[in-house]
Structure 1
Amino acid sequence: MKLPTFLIIGVQKAGTTSIYNYLKQHPQIYMSPVKETNFLEKNWEELETKRKAKIDTFEKYCQLFEGVTDEIAIGEASPNYLFHYESSSERIKRYVPNAKLIAVLRNPVDRAYSDYLMHIRDAIDKGRRNSLSDQIKYRADKSFILLKGFYCQHLQHFYKEFDREQLQVYLYDDLSKDPVQFMRTMYQFVGVDDTFSPDVSKKAQVAQVPKNTAVNQMLRQENPLRTIVRAGLRVILPLEMRQTIRSRLIQMNSQDKKAAPLSPEERQQLIELYREDILKLQDLIQRDLSSWLK
């Protein structure tokens, strides 16, 4: 039975999709065909919900790695493992205790902004206060967008539960500066040929925001109008063509994230929110993070 020899445990909005694709390019690495399996995140077997995780049993998890042949390293990327550190560390120790752990950290201010834009793009939590300022003021202790940026406690727990040599921390800043060298250090860590140069010309998930929020919600969320239109089109168009039309309409209604910039006031609010954690984090990982406080 083949199981992961390494896991990308965090964090969301820190280039993990691009890294996943660069890892897949390496001939000595097998990556789970499903990114973000989330199997090791929680005890899915004990949860009784209407929308259970797709990979909700150990049997399904093992099936993801049945395609392994002669690859040296086997991996999967579920960047919420770090956030759900208590439950995920317990399950990692249960199922893949010797797996190498990779955490990619991004300036929490920029990470929160990127996550916020994703919520706008995907029409998530439309009924809640949307601005980051409001979230900092009213929901700082409840907003996942904000809470995911407090890395220090999460990492401390992993350092406590696993050998320090088993966990490697990388910075998104380094990925942005020199992606090839960044990936070579990661290749070395997971135990494959580190002279391999991935094609890093294509970046995944370029941030965009909708031009018209109402149109975006209509296209992305279930609603009476969308149900009626879908029912009518189902009679004359195949599923693939309907999905293509919807994707093109979403793209036509999209624009660069620069259209919704992070204001200087919001940036300063976020810096102050994360300041103490950043100072603790740089001591923990022995990296200068002063640029995150500017």
Structure 2
Amino acid sequence: MIIGGMKCGTTSLNAWLREHPGIAFSSHKEVHFFDKHFERGTGWYRTHFPIMERLQGASCTLEATPSYLYRAERVAPRMHALIPGAKLIVMLRNPVQRAISHYGHALRNQKESRPPEVALMSDFTSNGSCVNHYKSRGFYAKQLEHFLNFYPRNNILIIKSEEFFSAPSTIYQQTLNFLNLERRPLPDNATARNTSTIKPVISDAVRQHLEIFYEQPNQDLSALLGDFPGW
């Protein structure tokens, strides 16, 4: 299960893993069973996975829904109840850059028209909680804690997105090892990159605001994982 996070490289990793003959993959990326379609039942969920590839020797079944990490509080117990032995892949990007990339993604898809000073600097707090999704998706420690309450740490591979972007082949092999799959070279023309075509102009004030905003969440992540090289 590639469970997140959004704008952290999951699309590239998912595409590369789907080229591996040892993997039987879901009918499409982002099935959203555990967060949006859980009421449809496990029968519906199973229809999204192939039979033939498993009969032909695939040893691993793959799903990638990046929003699972963000919605961890309700996703983690549901997932563990159905697939307690799952291996989880988490990709984490500097939350400042992740928020900016998320904002650019929304601009590209015409779901955002506000300037970055409004979209990225406002907290929109409600009952003490931040509901600005650009910012709250970067609270990685709070999200991971829910999965760590159900899955052992050695069942969760944490990938730093910056390392994935700079050394994709190394991270790809690390992922294959984690999944107990035969090592193979990267697929032809594989490139780890942010696919957004819109690069919003972000002022120093916005970047500084985000850097300060994430100081404590980043410290919480380092304390939670211990061996993760933070930002």
Above 0.5 in TM-score? yes
Aligned to 2:12: 18
Indicate whether 1:78 and 2:65 are aligned: yes
Contact 2:122–2:132 (CA under 8 A) maintained in structure 1: no
Query: How far apart are residue 58 of structure 1 and its match?
Result: 2.0
Look up the SS of the partner of 1:152 in the other structure: helix
Q: C-alpha root-mean-square deviation of aligned residues, in Å?
A: 1.8
The C-alpha deviation readout for 1:190-228, integer Å capped at 9, x for no partner, is 1111x211226344762113xxxxxxxxxxxxxxxxxxx
CA drift at 1:94: 1.8
User: Which residue identity is paired with 2:229?
Assistant: D
Instruction: Give the 3-state SS of the residue equivalent to 2:29 in structure 1.
Output: coil
Code of the residue aligned with 1:287 in structure 2: it is: F
Residues in 2 aligned to 1:198 and 1:30: alpha-carbon distance in whole angstroms = 18
- Corresponding residue pairs, total: 221
Q: Is the 8 A contact 1:10 1:82 kept in 2?
A: yes
Equivalent residue in structure 2 for 1:197, among 157, 170, 185: 185
Q: Is residue 2:157 matched to residue 1:168?
A: yes
Identity of aligned residues (%): 27
Structure showing greater relative contact order (alpha-carbon pairs closer than 8 Å, 6 or more residues apart): 2
Which structure 2 residue ranges, 5 or more long, are not aligned? Answer: none
Kindly indicate whether residue 31 of structure 2 is the aligned counterpart of residue 37 of structure 1.
yes
Q: 1:114 aligns with which of 101, 118, 123?
A: 101
Q: Name the CA shift for 1:196/1:138 in 2 (closer, same or farther; >3 Å).
A: closer
Higher helix proportion: 1
Give the conservation status (yes or no) of the 8 Å contact 1:22–1:200.
Answer: no
1:89 aligns with one of 61, 64, 76: 76
Is the Cα–Cα contact under 8 Å of residues 27 and 50 in structure 2 kept in the other structure? no
Which residue of structure 2 aligns with residue 271 of structure 1?
A: 211
Amino acid at match of 1:157: H
Check if 1:60 corresponds to 2:54. Answer: no
Maintained 8 Å contact 2:106/2:112: yes
The separation in 1 between residues aligned to 2:73 and 2:154, in whole angstroms, is: 19
Q: Distance in 2 between matches of 1:268 and 1:200?
A: 39
Larger Rg: 1
Task: Give the Cα–Cα distance (whole angstroms) in 2 for the partners of residues 282 and 272 of structure 1.
Answer: 16
